[in-house]
Structure 1
């Protein structure tokens, strides 16, 4: 692997790790600060209102990731004018869709009667409306920011874009926490979020203009045919995180209906731990995805196979120790972590660690497929299987409790592992090429030991 490529992946890995750490720190910081100063009821209302920006940041309406992939492949081939066409076409579509969506939500918020807004009585319905509108503006600005991050990714500056967003997220969280401690309201907090995200996106724009001379902010190069080409993979891109969020939340809900809240607590505690293992294992994949797009555009099969092997190896390196840790120490860890309130059974832990292992293998590889806009080959199947899994959870939970939900997820992950493995074999690397890569890696390891 070339030194420049390795350096970019290492920088991207560090930036992606910082971004994940920033989100973890904020989750640990904001919950106790906001809940203790606003009260549980008002904090719960804030979480409900904040669902919109959380959802939009997760999905980016599909056009952010799809256009980033297309721009990356165009830039890799030196087609800078075509990359500018992709950007402007995708940006106009994102601008229209996000504006329509946010305006509709804002109008609904304005028309809802005062009784439709849950509150502890500490704030009025008008204050909740102002908070909602400000958070809608925050969401809208954030969506435009994803387009600029796509430009930086296409230009080989994934690390810079991700690092900038990590700093923005940390500053936002720190300022919001400080304002609440000083007695700030939800309206003030949402206004600060909007203002800080505006300056964060402005910083991204300035960096993109300096590093990517081909970037042209405007709509002179918008191409209807390009929009049509982007539409199908963008819808597929949006379906993937929606399916994942649906199965995670839907499974917990089905367990609660079928077996009761105690089983939900055990399941979600273990699920949180296993999700952490998958997220850590995916950091290298996130950093190498832009390089994978470029290699695919240039038809560099050797580089594709190398990045594929690196993705699998990094995931396995995290998943194996996480698997054994959870199997042997997971029960005691959850009990300690929850202050003795939650003690999951060994059955739940074992099945969920198997779920983690399977998901941690296929999901990073699916990200590589998404990096070449092949997500349409599996996104709709994932949606269908996720719905089946949630519905299957209910009867299983009635009979087996939390283990039933774990079993349903295991069946889903097994099916997706088979599906993604088959697609990777067709598109990325044949079994013989994977075996050759593994042999090469072992040979390198033996030589380094000598």
Structure 2
């Protein structure tokens, strides 16, 4: 029962697991390419930890294995990098076979100069840093509790009580849930605030302020707009978090979301009018007549901006006075969201996604050898023309080619010993199309 003995048992179990992972990665006849995943977090005792996982392919299936969780007092890029290297050291991995890092977008992890990914590139020169697609998407787009619950029971006894969700900047789905629940429980929220506005002190001031803001057409319109936008983005969010999604589907999800927002922006389907009708229905239901809070006199733009188009300003904004102002607000929200998507989902720098599409038989670019040259050059892999032509014909000739929607199915179908061997690399490895699929 001694905690010293328990610690020894845990260390022995961890050592055994690491040995099994190392065996799996080294037992295959061909070199195993791998990627490193890492994140820093706090445990229940508020200690800062670094978690490290490795992702690789074993027997035709993607494997992700946790390697360790180590505490660190140094959360600088250098400190985190050193911890990651210490965790990886027992595996004895070949640095030239590391093809990617996956970290969050914090500057300490993603910085091109001095970030963790930059420091680790000195050890793993062929690795490509990937900022989690779901995390990026999430970045584009947070009382009186007892009485709130009690009013729900009184006003809606037929349904279970619900809680408002805390909005999280790194999880778009939390914002979607928050907006949806505010809309769903708007009557309960208004009643709760109305009760507390009849009390005294700071509670009354806070309740009055919130009540005034919520009883405006502008706020109801914003709730309806963001509920609509979040519902659309939720499909992409859940898709990007799916463990079964392939890179070409990632592209499709993001491009579909962009097209949806563009359709909203050009209003070809009358989406603005639909949002406006729903807003007015809610206003009638809750007897809301105010357009916006009373604003101070409208501020004039400085002369230096007279020839510019200003979409937003710091400080107080102009009051919403008519449906034309709401349309301008609708356009501004969509323009900002599309700009964020285009900024965070830039062109495929290394051509990896385009190369993946060129290898999948269901893609319109299948068999386009030019598309695989950039990542092959990045990872030091040479595939000759004859071999790629043979690979293309080999896949076309398979009767079940439609059952190969991702690279994993292709990897299963293309045994490494089928394809002709090229000249060995400096490490002694032979590279073929099979290696390209693994990367």
Q: What TM-score do the two structures reach when normalised by structure 1?
A: 0.28
Which of the two has greater strand per residue? 2
Larger fraction in helix: 1
Return the TM-score normalized by structure 2. Answer: 0.28
Which structure has the greater CA radius of gyration? 2
